[in-house]
Amino acid sequence: MDDELKIEKSLMKINKTLKNQPDEKKSPKKRVTKKKSPVEKKSPRKPKRKLKLVELAPKLSIDEYEIMEKVQPEELDELVPILHMDNNRERPINAKHNKTVKKLNIIDNDNNINQDKMASKVKLAKKIVEDFQNNGITVLESLTEEELVTVIEGNNHAYYNTNKPLTSDNEYDIIKEYMERKYPKNTIITEVGAKIIKNKVELPYKMASMDKIKPDTNALTKWTTTYKGPYVLSCKLDGVSGLYTTEGEIPKLYTRGNGTIGQDISHLIPVLNLPTEKNSVIRGEFIIPRLVFEEKYKKRFANARNLVSGIVNSKKIDEKTQDLHFVAYEVIQPSLKPSEQMKKIEELGHISVQNQTVDNLTNEMLSGILMDWRTNYEYEIDGVIVTNDRVYTRTDGNPDYAFAFKMVISDQVAEAKVVDVIWTPSKSGYLKPRVRIEPIKLGGVTIEYATGFNGKFIEENKIGIGAIIQIIRSGDVIPYIKSVTTPAEHAKMPVTEYHWTDSHVDLVLDNVTDDETVQEKNITDFFTGIEVESLSTGNVKKIMKAGYRTIPDILKMTKDDFEKVDGFKEKMVNKIYEGIQSKIERASLITIMASSNKFGRGIGKRKITPIMNKYPNILVSDENVNEKIAMLQLIEGIGKENAKGFVNNINNFISFLEECNLHHKLGNTKIEATAETDVEINNGQIHDESNPLYGKYIVMTKVRDAEIIDYLKKVGGHLDNNISKKTFILVVKSLDDVSNKTKKANADNIPIMTPEMFKTEYINT
C-alpha cells in the first residue's frame, strides 16, 4: 500500500506539471518587443516539454528527456509498473512496457549508473578491508556509519557477483557483527546476499537468513521459554544457499542472491541429478565434501566456499561441477513441521542435511553437538540450526522460531573470533602478542583479551583476524588460548621491523634503543623500581615529550626543567623532583641493578640478589669474563645463559652508573639481601609469596625442563606427578600430545602449556 500511495502522489505531481505546461495545440503567449526592421516571418517553434522522474525511480530512472509528439501524457500511466518506489525491492520490466521504455529513454541504473557506483564502492571497501586486515578492529572503530555500510555492500557485491571476495567468512562476520553492535538500526544488518547482476530473476519464495543466539548470554533461556520444543537440530552448512522447485512445468534451480532476487542456474539440474517429483519446493546448500576439496582443490582455492561460488556463477559446466552437491535442509512446499521435512527430503531422494530431534536445550549440549558435527561431518559447517518442531507460516524476515548456534561455550571455555593481534615491545625489546577477541562472558566475567604467548605460537597456529579460538579461564589464571578451532588465512605478525631469536620462539625489535615504547617502559620501570611516586606511564610520556628521553636525562633534571613539562603544576613538580632525589640516594646497588634493565632479559632482582649475595664485588673484581661466568654457574638457579648475560653486561651497567652520576654506588658492596627484596631466602631458595606460582602445583608429562624446575624451587612452587584438583598447570612437550594426563586436564579445565609457553608467561616476563 505504501508503494501504491507513493506512485499515486508521484503521478499527481507529474500530471500537475504537464497541465501547467503550455499545450502544443494552443498558441504560445506573445512577447511584447520593440519593432525591428521587417523580416520574413517564421513559424513559432513548438515548445519541448521536459520531465524529470529521477527522484521517483531510484533504481530505474528516467533521464531528463523531451516528450516527443508520439508520446502522449496519458501514456505516463503505463510507467507505474516499472517505477521502483522501494529501494529494497526489485521489479523486472515485462514486455508490455518495452514500447514505453524505449519511447521515454529509460536508463536501467542497475546495469549502468549503479554498476559504476558499485565499482567505486568495491574499490573503497577493498582499501578499508586491507587496512582492517593489517591493523585490526581499531580500523572499524574509526569508520563512520556510511563507510561501514560501504564496506559491507562492497563485500557482498564482490562475493556474490565477481567470485573475488574481499574477506574471509570470519573477517566478514566480524565487520557485520561490529556494525550490528554499533548501529543496530541500520537496515544493512538484515540484508542478505547481494543484488544479482547476471541471469537475475525474482525468486518464487523469499529466502531469509537466521538470527544468531550468543551462548554467553541468557538468550537461549528466553527463547526456550517461548518455544517449548521438541527441537530439530541440523547442520548449518558453509556453502552457497539455493532453492529448487518442481511446481512449474519444468524444474527450476536458483541461488539465493539477496533473498528476493536470485540467479537462475537451472542448467545445473541434470549435473546434480536432482529428483523431479512434482509440486515440491526445497531449500538447500550447494557445497563440496571436505575430503574432495582437500584432495583435489586445496592448493588452487583459498576455501571450498569460494570454489562453490565460482561454480554456481559460471555459465560453463566443467569437471569441477561433478563434485558439487545440493544438500537439502528445508521443505517449503508442501508445508510440514521440521521433523517431517527431514523425512520428506529423504523420501524425495535428495541428500539430506545431518539432523536430530531433542526435547531440551542447553548451551553445553549445543556446544558438544557443534564440536562433534564440525569434526566428523563430511561437509564444512559453521554452526547448528535449531528449529521449534511446529508448522509455521513463512514470513519475509528471519524466523523467530529458529536460530543459529555458532560458538562453543562451557563454564570455563568459550570460542571467540580474533579481531586483532596487538604486538607490544617489552622493556627488552621482545615483541609480545596480545590477542583481542570479540567480547565474551566466561565465568561471569567479560573477556576481550587473551595472552598470545610468543611469536612462534601466533605464527604456527595462524592466529590472525578472523581466526576462531578457544579461550580458557580457570581461577586466577590469565585468559589464554586453549586451542585454535579455525585458523586465519595468515597470522597477524608485527608491521615493524623485527628478527627472530635463535630458538625461533620470540620476536625482537631490530632497533630496540630507538623504540619509544621501549624507552618509556625502561624509564617507568626504573623509577618504579626505586619507588619514586607519581612517575607513572602518563607522566613519563609527558617528560619524554618535553625532550628528556633517557634515565640519566631525567635524573639530571632541575625543578625548572620539570616546571616546563606540559601539565606539571608546582605541587607535582615538587613531589617528583624531591622523590627522585630522595629515592635515588637511598636506593641500594641491587635495586639500581635490577631497575636499570642493563643486564638483559630474564635477569631481574630474583637472579641478581643471589649473585650479589654470593659475590658482592663481582662488578669490580679482577677475574676475567670466563672465570666470572664459571663462578656464577656455581649458584643454584643460575645457568650458563644467565651467567653469560650478567657478566657480558657488567661494563654496560657501569657505563650507565657513570651517565647517571651514580658511580659511587659501586662502593656499596655490603649487601643485606633480605633488605633488598620482599622475598625470604632459606637455604638458597627464594620464597616469594607475591609470585603467581607461589604454593601452586605444576605437573609435567613427557618433558622435564630444568629451568622450570629450578624456578619453582626458588619461588615456592611445587612439582607434582599426578593431575588432581590442586593442579595449577600441566606442562607438556607439545600441545598435540594426547595422554591420560592431558585428557584429565582438559576434562577439569586445567591449563595446558608447553615449556616455552610456561616460561614466556611466568619466568621471562
Please identify which residue in the block is written with the cell numbers 529448487.
244
Sheet containing 240-245: order of strands: 252-255, 240-245, 281-287, 325-333, 351-352
Count of other CB atoms within 10 angstroms of residue 163: 16
Please identify which residue in the block is written with the cell numbers 631481574.
604
Question: At a CB cut-off of 8 Å and minimum separation 6, what does 428 contact?
Answer: 512, 518, 597, 600, 601
Please identify which residue in the block is written with the cell numbers 544479482.
196
- Round to whole Å and give the CA distance between 414 and 418: 13
- Round to whole Å and give the CA distance between 322 and 309: 14
Q: What is the 3-state secondary structure (H, E, C) of 562-611?
A: HHCCCCCCHHHHHHHHHHHHHHHHHCCHHHHHHHHCCCCCCCCHHHHHHH
CA contacts within 13 A on the Cβ side of 166: 26
- Round to whole Å and give the CA distance between 722 and 741: 8
Question: At a CB cut-off of 8 Å and minimum separation 6, what does 528 contact?
Answer: 535, 595
Pull the grid cell for residue 388: 521449534
Q: 263: which strand partners?
A: 200
DSSP label at 30? P
- Round to whole Å and give the CA distance between 585 and 568: 24
Pull the grid cell for residue 758: 610456561
Backbone angles phi, psi at 499, to 5 degrees: -140, 160
DSSP label at 158? I
- Round to whole Å and give the CA distance between 87 and 103: 25
Tell me the residue type at 185: K
Sign of the C-alpha dihedral computed for residues 161, 163, 169 and 174 taken in this order: negative
| Nearest by Cα to 252 from 234, 268, 239 | 268
Pull the grid cell for residue 497: 621491523
Helix axes 650-659, 589-596, angle to 10 degrees: 100
**Is 344 among the residues known to form the active site?**
no
- Round to whole Å and give the CA distance between 497 and 510: 6
Please identify which residue in the block is written with the cell numbers 555500510.
149
| Nearest by Cα to 193 from 309, 83, 59, 103 | 309
H-assigned helices in 264-327 = 269-272, 290-296, 304-313
For residue 22, whether the previous peptide bond is cis, meaning omega lies within 30 degrees of 0, is no
Tell me if 113 sits within 8 A of 54, measured CB to CB: no
Task: Choose the catalytic residue: 121, 236, 456, 598.
Answer: 236
Tell me the residue type at 694: Y
Question: At a CB cut-off of 8 Å and minimum separation 6, what does 543 contact?
Answer: 523, 554, 557, 562, 565
Tell me the Ramachandran region of residue 57: left when phi exceeds 0, alpha when psi lies from -120 to 50, beta otherwise: beta
H-assigned helices in 441-588 = 455-460, 516-529, 537-545, 551-555, 559-563, 570-586
Catalytic site positions: 236
